[in-house]
Structures are given as C-alpha cells and as structure tokens.
Amino acid sequence: MNIEFSSQELRDLGIAWIALSVAFAIFFAGGGQQALFLLGTGQFGLALFVSLLTAGVAFLLHEVAHKVVAIRFGQIAEFRADYGMLGIAIMSALIGFIFAAPGAVYHRGMLTEREHGLIALAGPVMNLVLVVVFVPIFVVGLVLGSGIVELIGARGLVINAFLAAFNMLPFGSLDGRTVKSWSTPVFVGVFVLSAALTVLLVLFVGI
C-alpha cells in the first residue's frame, strides 16, 4: 500500500493543523481578552505549543487515519481544508467556545457499506489510540512534577476522547452517521466508550 500526499494536501493539512491549534489555544486561554493578555506577557506561545501537540496532533492523525484506510480499500483519497470553517473555529474561540470542522478526507471509488463504515470509524479509533498514547505522558508529568508535561498529557487525553465522542455522533457529515449505517453495535460500542472516557477524564484529569 503506497501512501502519498500531494503538495496541496500537505499545505491544507499544515494550515488546518496550525489554525485549529490557534483556535484551541485561544479557547483554553479563556477567549479573546485572556488570549491577548497571554500574548502581551509572552505566554501565548506556550499555549500554542501545547495545542499544536494535543489538539493539532489529534486532528492530523484523525484525518490521516481516514486516508490510510480509504487507500487500503483502493480509493483515491485526499484531505481538503475548509478555510471558512477554520475561520469560524478561530472566531468562536475568541468569544469563548470552540466549534471546529477543519475539513475532511474526500475519496472516490467503489465501496461496500462495510468499507464506508470502516473508513469513517478509523478517525475516532485513532483518537482512542491516542488516548492510550497520552496516558504515560500524563503519568510522567505527574511523577516528575513537570507542569508542562502534565498539561500536555492531560490535554491530549481529554481532547482525543472528546474528538472520538464528538465525531461518533450520528448526525450530518460526522463519522458516527456512516458507522451507524453500517453497524449499530459497532457504533454504540465506540460511542459509549468514547463518551464515558470523555466524562471520566474531564472529572479526574481536568483540562
């Protein structure tokens, strides 16, 4: 299986990664005014760094997972950023909430319903895998007493669990709708796991 990225796709992935990370950094700062305060004190760079490694990585690998599975099923697949929605993500963060739909992997070719379902499922499953990856980072931060490592671990845990749960909602163009059309048991299992993890992590780890 040969995975290739066109120059336009790499550009779209890079722009979406940075824009989404900026939006999450503003959101976690507490909105526009607080973000401007951090910018003035030179601390916004740190907030952006944390978001690049957590929300940004969660988004990138979610989309790459869709692409890899689509190609595995013989599809022509590429990510395209939605620049309007990226702008909305940043604007929503400025007023204190986050709404992010940075783009999607588009693919073409003949697919069975099962293959459609597995391509859609790949993104949320990647986020659940990343939850596992961020566990030791969070633990190391706690053990070493390193606030920045602990913060990266905590944000990585919560953001990835939330993205898995959000994308498994069975509405609109979200992954959950396609997964549910293919297999209700798989949809219920992954959605319940993702939602439960999100609640537990917010309660016990925080953000």
Q: Which is more confident, 9 or 172? A: 9
pLDDT of residue 191 exceeding 90: yes
pTM of the complete model: 0.91
- Per-residue pLDDT band at 100 (split at 50, 70, 90): confident
Calculated CA dihedral for residues 22, 28, 30, 35, nearest 10 degrees? -40
Mean pLDDT over 124-147 rounds to: 95
Contact between residue 102 and residue 86 where contact means Cβ atoms under 8 Å apart: yes
Domain boundaries, the chain: 1-110, 131-207
pLDDT in the model for residue 29: 79
Q: Which two tokens stand for residue 121?
A: 């499922």
Q: Which of 19-33, 46-60, 129-143 has the lowest mean pLDDT?
A: 19-33
Mean pLDDT over 152-171 rounds to: 94
